[in-house]
Amino acid sequence: MSATTAVATTRRARTPSGVALLVLALVVSVGAFAFAGLGLRGRVPHQIAIYALVTCAAYAGTWVAMRVIARGADPVLLPTAAALGGLGIAMLYRIMVARGQPQIWVDQAIWLLVGLAAFLITLLVIRDIRRLDAYTYTIGLVGVVLLFLPIVPGIGYAINGAQLWAHFGPVSFQPAEFGKILIVIFLASYLSSKRELLATGVGRLGMPRPKDLGPLLLAWGASLAVLFLEKDLGASLLFFGVFVVMVWVASGRPGYLVVGVVLFAAGAVLGYIAFTHVHLRVDYWLHALDPATVHEFGYGQLAQGWFALASGGLVGTGLGQGSPTLIPYVGSDFIFAAFGEELGMIGAAALLLLYLVLIGRGLRIAIERVDAFGKLLATGLTTVLALQIFAIVGGVTRLIPLTGVPLPLVSYGGSSRVATFVLLALLVRISAGPWERARG
């Protein structure tokens, strides 16, 4: 029996457990929604029946369709995403109803359904992940266009100082959420074709030769351009971080990590000196509990986030029984603090463990791939997810300055939800292999 056949047999043997995981995830989702209503108003939300019916039907239909068009796919990704999405909707219901804005959580639930549709469409359209390798520069060009679309006059616009949004008629979205996925596909294709050149290093650490530093410097410059033009610290860090990790994996040389860290440090210093918004974020991070700083920024978000995490203790106040609405942007940037307050350290750790499951399965998919393109693509997509989680959780806990990226599948944001499901669909397709072979 070949190694490929053995892996496929193992996957088929694991698949039935995915059904049990999906059922458990749906129980958690509906249960969290019910408990949020009980804690907030003393009764189960009157929307519980329709919410449970629609959610269970949507995920069950998605699971069945996935088993048909991506047979042998990793059985853990979709149930884990379902649990995270359900917990996010429950917390958004609790927050938005308390603020008198119930329509917002309904909109986010609808975006969750749109994300599931995008998940299936991605699997249907991309039947063989290797076909993407033939459109390297086209995909890269579209990714760059989406990344910088918010700065186009008449299309892009700013919210809270960051130029992240674009609109076409009544439709508004964050193009960078989808652009980063296309950039990762481009990098996987480009680096897989250049890996032999990148593997040539100098010295014991395999430091890159001067002539091989061009792509790294180009990515560094592009990340600074995002920071300068769009004032988006999160996208800038994410873009450069993903590039450095993918170059390291493609080359197998730790020297690229060393150079990447040096360039990151230089970029951080340059950003602090040259860009006012970066300077303000760093100052706020360093002096979050200083009353003068809180007064200057007018929000005190970091301080409120810390107070929320501290008041949650080990087991939390209970869903619906804390005070997370004191944090101005708790539905987006600080939703992790809301979980820490109402579910405690145990609940916050459980949320992080769910993310760790997604990251672990993504890296496992990368390890199982034999071809360089599939391996790099799975690594890059998983790195995007991991860096985004680290950036927002690290910012809320004051490990790093707050970057403002959404917490995948949990925070407020339709673009982020849909883009994350597209990302997961690509990982599912990589794990399943081509549809033609799966049907055979």
Report the SS3 class of residue 433: coil
CA-to-CA distance for 433 and 160, rounded, in angstroms? 42
Q: Structure tokens of 393? A: 């959780």
Q: Is 41 exposed, middle or buried (0-12, 13-18, 19+ CB in 10 A)?
A: middle
Please give the residue that has the higher pLDDT: either 201 or 170.
170
pLDDT band at 247 (very low <50, low <70, confident <90, very high): confident
Residue 159 dihedral angles phi and psi, to the nearest 5°: -135, 125
Given this model, what pLDDT does residue 206 score? 56
Report the share of the chain in percent with pLDDT over 70. Answer: 85
80 alpha-carbon distance from chain centroid: 13
Residue 224 — pLDDT band, cuts 50, 70, 90?
confident
How many H-runs (helices) and E-runs (strands) does the chain carry? 16, 5
Closest CA to 395 of 385, 405, 382: 405
pLDDT at 7: 43
Lowest mean pLDDT segment, chosen from 213-217, 266-270, 314-318: 213-217
Rounded mean pLDDT, 405-410: 90
Q: Which of 11-15, 18-22, 55-59, 161-165 has the highest mean pLDDT?
A: 55-59
Q: Are 73 and 66 in contact (CB under 8 A)?
A: yes
Q: Which one, of 398, 381, 373, 312, lies nearest residue 347 by Cα?
A: 312
* Nearest-5° Cα angle at 19, 35 to 112: 55
Alpha helices in 42-101 (DSSP H): 48-69, 77-98
Evaluate whether 110 touches 433 at the Cβ level (below 8 Å). no
Query: Which amino acid type is present at position 320?
Result: G
Position 428 scores a pLDDT of 95
Report whether 428 contacts 66 (CB < 8 A). Answer: yes
Please provide the average confidence, as pLDDT, over all residues in the chain: 84
pLDDT of residue 336: 94
At 168, the pLDDT band (50, 70, 90 cuts) reads confident
- Which residue reads 């690290």 in tokens? 394
Q: Which tokens sit at 390? A: 């680290």
The residue ranking higher by pLDDT, 276 or 105, is: 105
Is the dihedral angle over the CA atoms 164, 404, 162, 257 positive or is it negative? negative
Long-range contacts, 154-157 (Cβ 8 Å, 24+): none
Structure tokens at 119: 């998940």
- Alpha carbons within 13 A on the beta-carbon side of 140: 12
pLDDT band at residue 1 using 50, 70 and 90 as cut-offs: very low
How confident is the model over 54-92, as pLDDT tens digits? 999 999 999 999 999 988 889 999 999 999 999 999 999
Q: What count of other Cβ atoms lies within 10 Å of the Cβ of residue 265?
A: 10
Nearest to 233 by CA among 308, 285, 156: 285
**Which tokens is 141 given?**
């060009």
Task: Give the side-chain half-sphere CA count within 13 A for 333.
Answer: 19
pLDDT of 418 strictly over 90: yes
Q: Which two tokens stand for residue 11?
A: 């996957």
- How far apart CA 438 and CA 440 sit, in angstroms, is 5
- CA distance linking residue 179 with residue 142, whole number of Å: 7
For residue 68 the two structure tokens come to 């048909």
pLDDT at residue 220, rounded to an integer:
67
Nearest to 73 by CA among 136, 35, 123, 25: 123
pLDDT at res. 275:
75
Instruction: Supply the pLDDT for residue 117.
Output: 96
CA distances from 23 to 37, 117, 325, 352, 402 (A): 21, 20, 31, 20, 35
Q: Is the pLDDT of residue 160 over 70?
A: no
Look at residue 266 and tell me whether its pLDDT is greater than 90. no
Tokens in use for 147? Answer: 């990344």
pLDDT at 207: 61
Describe the chain by its helix, strand, coil percentages, rounded to 5: 75, 5, 20
- Conformation bin of residue 156: beta by default, left when phi > 0, alpha when psi is -120 to 50: beta
Of the given ranges (131-145, 286-300, 366-380, 416-430), which has the lowest mean pLDDT? 286-300
Which string of DSSP letters, residue by residue, matches 24-53?
A: HHHHHHHHHHHHHHHHHHSS--TTHHHHHH
Closest CA relative to residue 116, chosen from 166, 74, 66, 176? 66
**Cβ atoms of 149 and 175 closer than 8 Å:** yes
